[in-house]
Amino acid sequence: MEKHLNNTSLFSKSAALTLVAVNVVLFFLTEALPSLRAYLSLNTVLIIRGRMYWQFISYMFVHASLMHLLGNMLGLVFFGTAVERSLGTKQFLILYFASGLASGALSFAVYAAAGMSRVFLLGASGAVYAVLLVFSVLFPRALIYLWGILPIPAPILVSIFALIEIFSQLFGADSGIAHTTHLFGFAAAWLYVRIRMKKSPLGLWKEAYKK
Q: Which of 14, 63, 107, 182 is catalytic?
A: 182
- CA separation, residue 133 to residues 49, 102, 108 (Å): 35, 15, 22
Specify whether 125 is catalytic: yes
Q: Which of 117, 125, 159, 200 is catalytic?
A: 125
- CA separation, residue 79 to residues 17, 56, 62, 82, 211 (Å): 11, 23, 20, 5, 24
138 beta partners? none
Active site residues: 125, 182
